[in-house]
Amino acid sequence: ALVESPETLSHAAILTLHIQDCMHQAGIPIAALDAVAISKGPGSYTALRVGASVAKGICYALDKPLLAVDTLHALAWASKNAETGVTAADLFAPMLDARRQEIWLTLYDHQLQEICPAQPLVLENNSFENFIQEKTGSSTFKRIILSGNGADKAGSAQILKGT
């Protein structure tokens, strides 16, 4: 189930309602949950805190475990498992918009093993290619999958040669 909202800066006010809507759409009573997973970041500090607080409340009320998931690893995993053919990627580069001309990213190989820890990158000409060269020691990859809201920003900044 999926519930989205165009509202900004209202996480605390609507999150529990969205959780209730998702559970209803999925036809799963909240008591049937085995655990609750949250993003441990990177991400918006306030949003992460609001999400963690709500999740902790649910876990406390239901006596269920709370699991923390790395945001960038989850994006890479979703990309790898989204469609047939994506598993043939050499690199996965999940990235988040970090405001201004910056993204927060990491790199994973085709088996989702982390190549480098999450870090910021200023979007400039060829900065992404230089980042890949520095972190992997290679500049030749057949297929690199970009994901996350930073991928849109990176694409609009035309950080890859030939774009």
Q: pTM to 2 decimals?
A: 0.81
Question: How, if at all, do strands 144-147 and 91-97 pair?
Answer: parallel
What is the fold, at CATH topology level, of the domain defined by 71-156? Nucleotidyltransferase; domain 5 (3.30.420)
pLDDT of 105 strictly over 90: yes
**Where are the CATH 3.30.420.200 domain residues in the chain?**
71-156
Q: Per-residue confidence at 124, pLDDT binned at 50, 70, 90? A: confident
Predicted confidence (pLDDT) per residue in 43-96, tens digit: 888 889 999 999 999 999 999 999 999 999 999 999 988 866 555 788 999 999
Question: CA 70: distance to chain centroid?
Answer: 8
